[in-house]
Amino acid sequence: MAAWSRARLGAGPAVPPAGDRADPSDGVLVAAAQADRQAFAPLYDRYVDPVYRYCLRRLGSREAAEDATSQVFAKALAALPAYRDRSFRGWLFTIAHNVVSDTRRQRRPVAPLADAEDRVDPAPTPEEAALTADEGRALRALLVQLPADQRRIVELRLAGLTGVEIARVLGRSEGAVKMLQFRAVARLRVLLEVEPRPQGGTR
């Protein structure tokens, strides 16, 4: 336990892997926002939509997505002075991923004993919400058929992240992301009834 703790803390967060794409536009905006928080507005404007959509895809209801999006930007703004990454988008979606994961965990009907007495949240689970939501139902119906780790990657891809950024968000190697992504798409190909095609014609 102690060793695990030491190892995890010692390792720190995922360092942006070599080759992580720097986004000069974001970089300029981040530098400005670090000097003056009002200058965060362009970053907010740029990312509020993809972050919200990502939260909606994962949480299944507008209300939950709005709550999560609010948290993501509030946390990002609070942490911005300490921001040192090379990919603002990857950093921001790491926060989003954690917020959404927290929200989903919070909704599960399992809790530590210490918190058992205040598990009274009547909100529907993400799965329930997904079943009743109209928007994006077809996509969710597809994604729900993927294993969770593959689904996470596809959701982040749909949010517009590169493979390197996804690896950073999920704390996985890029190789692992490639493999899981490949399996996910292969499975989706079957679900979407895309016929195998001979390769090479487009080369």
22-41: which residues touch other proteins (CB under 8 A)?
A: 37-38, 40-41
Burial class of 83 by CB neighbour count within 10 A (0 to 12, 13 to 18, 19+): middle
- State in Å, rounded, how far the first CA of the chain is from the last one: 52
The nearest distance, CB 52 to other proteins, in angstroms, is: 4
Of 18, 24, 82, 148, which one interacts with other proteins (CB under 8 A)? 82
CB 68 within 8 A of CB 59: yes
CB of 75: closest distance to other proteins in angstroms?
5
Min dist. Cβ of residue 117 to other proteins (A): 7
Q: Shortest approach of other proteins to residue 182 CB, angstroms?
A: 4
Part in contact with other proteins (CB under 8 A); list of ranges 24-32, 97-105, 124-132? 97-105
Q: Residue 136 interacts with other proteins (CB under 8 A)?
A: yes
Contact partners, residue 58, CB within 8 Å, separation at least 6: 100, 104, 126, 155
Q: Give min distance, CB of 76 to other proteins, in A.
A: 8
Smallest separation, CB 86 to other proteins (Å): 13
Per CB under 8 A, the segment of 9-17, 24-32, 124-132 that binds other proteins is 9-17
Binding of other proteins at residue 125 (CB under 8 A)?
no
Q: Render 62-121 in DSSP notation, one character per residue.
A: HHHHHHHHHHHHHHHHHHGGG---S-HHHHHHHHHHHHHHHHHHHHSS---GGGGGG---
79 counts as binding other proteins under rule CB under 8 A: yes
Side-chain half-sphere exposure of 123, counting CA atoms within 13 A: 20
How far, CA to CA in Å, does 43 sit from each of 25, 71, 111, 121? 10, 15, 36, 33
Which residues ranging from 184 to 203 are in contact with other proteins (CB under 8 A)?
Answer: 185-186, 188-189, 192, 194-199, 201-203
- Does 127 sit near other proteins (CB under 8 A)? no
Is residue 46 part of the contact set for other proteins (CB under 8 A)? no
